Amino acid sequence: MTNILMPKATAVWLVDNTSLSFEQIADFCGLHPLEVRGIADGDVARDIRGVDPVTGGQLTREELDKAQADENYRMVAVVSRHADLLTKPKSGPKYTPVSRRQDRPDAIAWFVRNHPEVTDAQIAKMLGTTKATIESVRNRTHWNSQNIKPVDPVTLGLTGQVELDELVRKAAEKKARDDAKKGGPALQPVEPEAAPEPEPEPEAKGPEPTAESVFGRE
């Protein structure tokens, strides 16, 4: 289904001016059927003025007629020329100010030393650098290796603390999943506890000594 502009206002118009089912309207407008029912009952979108999707160019009359004749039919919206406004733009490569670019090797060294679980691709995306630069810092083949010191990228102003914490968390969780798939170190079998040695049985006692057995008879 194509996203439409003003879905609730469109749903209000369809409820008031058509015989479409709640499910049909919900599917076309991207709403929940209960929300459409609430519109029909006056509990939802009470102050919203309905918008005709046909005159607005988001629905053809033929589609509307098909849907009203068959409650199982789901209408297909006309692709709006404004549809690109509803699409969230993809974030491009991170831009690092020129004044901060000299600090990136220090931040890379910090990642290499403190968070080896973070991949080169993740570092490159966060710092706006390249995998080749990361590899040169890691192998100490960077042209400025003698002056590179590990420094927290937040301190350098290359990223925020929230973004850094989120990146480290995701990398740690991925590493844990990968380790679990590989099996990890085998657990040592638990040796059964040795059975306790039986306590020695008390020696059998003879008859109690008598005066006659000790001193003899007179």
Segment 38-47 long-range contacts (CB within 8 Å, at least 24 positions apart): 39/8, 39/11, 39/12, 39/15, 40/15, 44/8, 45/8, 45/9, 45/11, 45/12
> What confidence tens digit (pLDDT) does each residue in 40-49 have?
888 877 788 8
pLDDT of 176-189, one tens digit each? 888 888 765 444 54
Question: Could you tell me which of 80, 67, 83, 86 has the C-alpha nearest to residue 23?
Answer: 67
Number of alpha helices (DSSP H) and beta strands (DSSP E) in the chain: 10, 0
pLDDT at residue 108 above 60? Answer: yes
Q: Provide the H-helix boundaries in the chain.
A: 7-17, 22-29, 33-41, 61-69, 98-101, 104-114, 120-127, 131-138, 161-182, 211-215
Measured CA to CA, the distance from residue 218 to residue 211 in angstroms comes to 11
pLDDT value of position 176: 86
Express each pLDDT in 50-102 by its tens digit.
Answer: 889 998 888 999 999 999 999 999 999 886 555 455 455 555 555 555 445 57
Which tokens in the block code for residue 203? Answer: 């020696």
